[in-house]
Structure 1
Amino acid sequence: MPDGQSRESGARAELLRAAEEALRQQAPALPPAAAALLHRLAEALPTAELAAEPPERIAAATASLYAFAAERKPGTAKVRLLPPGPGRGAVAVAEIVTEDMPFLVDSVLAALALSGRTPRRLLHPVLRVARDAAGRLEGFAEGGAAESMMHVEIAPATARLLGGGGEAPDEGWETTEAALRRALTETRLAVADFPAVLQRLRAAEAEIAREDRPRPPPAVPSCAGWRRTISSSSATG
């Protein structure tokens, strides 16, 4: 490993150790698995950005999200929005815990944009979790169910939608939280319906293939092409 990369790796490890120590001091009752969440949240941060964050702030974000994820009923998304305040400074924080599924990030960003909110940072680790029958978090384990645990920092001021004209939306944080809940509910329904939609497209494709019909011109997407497009989107969204 080149010297520069080695120094950066060493500096990063030291920053994470400081954040872990801050986590132990702030939330001594949390299990060791909370440190694993801290590392997964930090994965998305470049070393320079990680160094600019006080370790206490990283620890506080981890402790809050882990405590929020401690219990979740199957088939539900947990959402809460914490307004600007102590430990968060001038930004609000949305915390989301749900089964991992396609389109989560796109849905969250769209809900924020339509609410006139600007995300400053979105951390989105997907972890394999073990829960008991009541939904209580027992830890992280290989082979567990994949869950998305999101930490979204949001600018305090609302912004006018592009092309919307007029003033920025005058909405409180409760309205923004409700928009996130609604978006996640609709995403879950869309993902649940997707296999049936795909089955119908395949049936239509097979029916068209059996019939003696002229092929559509190149500019018109075929049924098969459309099916491949949405299948690819669902796998990568």
Structure 2
Amino acid sequence: MDQNASDARQRVIGQIIECARETASAECRSHLDSFIWQYYRNISLEDLKKRDVDDLAGAAVGHLDYALTRRPGKPKARIFNPEAEKDGWSSPHTIVEIINDDMPFLVDSLGMVINRHDRYIHLTVHPVIKVRRDAGGRLVDVLPNGETSDDAVTESLIHVEIDRIPEKSAFRVILGDLLSSLEDVRLSCQDWSAMRSKCLEISRELVTNPPPLSAEIVDESRALLEWMEDDHFTFLGYREYELVKGEDFDTLKVVPDTG
């Protein structure tokens, strides 16, 4: 982005902050400047100009208000059609918002859920923000971009605008799918390091205790496992199988409690 466009975007974000101060609660106002600068800093000037400043301010304040409380390690997600009288802003689209510990695959997983429900994503706002919370999960501080602290946690906030869904009954179905997907992502990220270690362990076993196969096949298998472990493969699950010999054919049997 050239300097003129960058300056113009900063001016628009400044206008959003000024507008947000008029409607935000006292608790939200204490976090407002740092939050909104980070909320919209990666959104193109073109996308910002397509929307009213009042609506951009209302969306950011609403997401901040929603983020004031969050239980540690637990995602928050909601789907709604914003209304000016109730929410302080409006949109022709349905809004999906998430607050979660920052981790890989969140945006991709959300996109897959939305696509499964045959909806198009018109805008994605995805700030990754460092915050401090008290023991009960209440927001204490929003750190400025680039700052860090030993007691801060990194949270991923996602706001997407999708094709409008008039039937609110459909919200529950999409929300259920979304929360299930977020849980799958969390489990994958928790187990990711262990799965990589297991991959290396199996690779070493091919050297120390090779199977009764040709050296060429064993070497190729080992090279593949090492390549996968070297950040070339997304580990999403692991399970062990036992090779059971049969008279007519061999079968793979799941080893219980391995995945």
TM-score range, shorter chain: 0.7 to 0.9
Structure 2: runs of 5+ lacking an equivalent = 236-259
1:8 and 1:125 map into 2 onto residues whose CA distance is 20
Give aligned pairs, total.
218
- CA deviations on 1:6-31 (whole Å, 9 max, x unpaired) are 44343223212211111001214223
Tell me which stretches of 4 or more aligned residues in structure 1 moved more than 6 Å: 217-221
Matched, 1:12 2:13: no
Structure 1: runs of 5+ lacking an equivalent = 159-170
Q: Which deviates more, 109-118 or 85-94?
A: 85-94
Aligned pair partner of 2:64 in 63, 66, 83: 66
2:220 and 2:44 map into 1 onto residues whose CA distance is 43
| Percent identity of equivalent pairs | 23
Aligned pair partner of 2:77 in 76, 79, 91: 79
Aligned pair partner of 2:108 in 106, 115, 118: 106
- CA deviations on 1:118-150 (whole Å, 9 max, x unpaired) are 211111111111000111011123221111011
Residues 146-225 of structure 1 aligned to structure 2 (within 5 Å):
146-156=154-164, 172-211=170-209, 214-216=215-217, 222-225=224-227
Cross-structure match for 1:164? none
Aligned pair partner of 1:38 in 36, 39, 45: 36
What is the CA distance between 1:112 and its match in structure 2?
1.1
Q: Which deviates more, 76-85 or 6-15?
A: 6-15
Cross-structure match for 1:93? 95
Answer whether contact 2:94 2:164 (CA < 8 A) is retained.
yes
Q: Give the RMSD, CA atoms, in angstroms.
A: 2.5
When residues 201 and 217 of structure 1 are mapped into structure 2, their CA distance, relative to the original with a 3 A threshold, is closer
Larger RCO: 1 or 2 (CA < 8 Å, sep 6+): 1
Answer whether contact 1:91 1:154 (CA < 8 A) is retained.
yes
Residues 20-35 of structure 1 aligned to structure 2 (within 5 Å):
20-29=17-26, 30-35=28-33
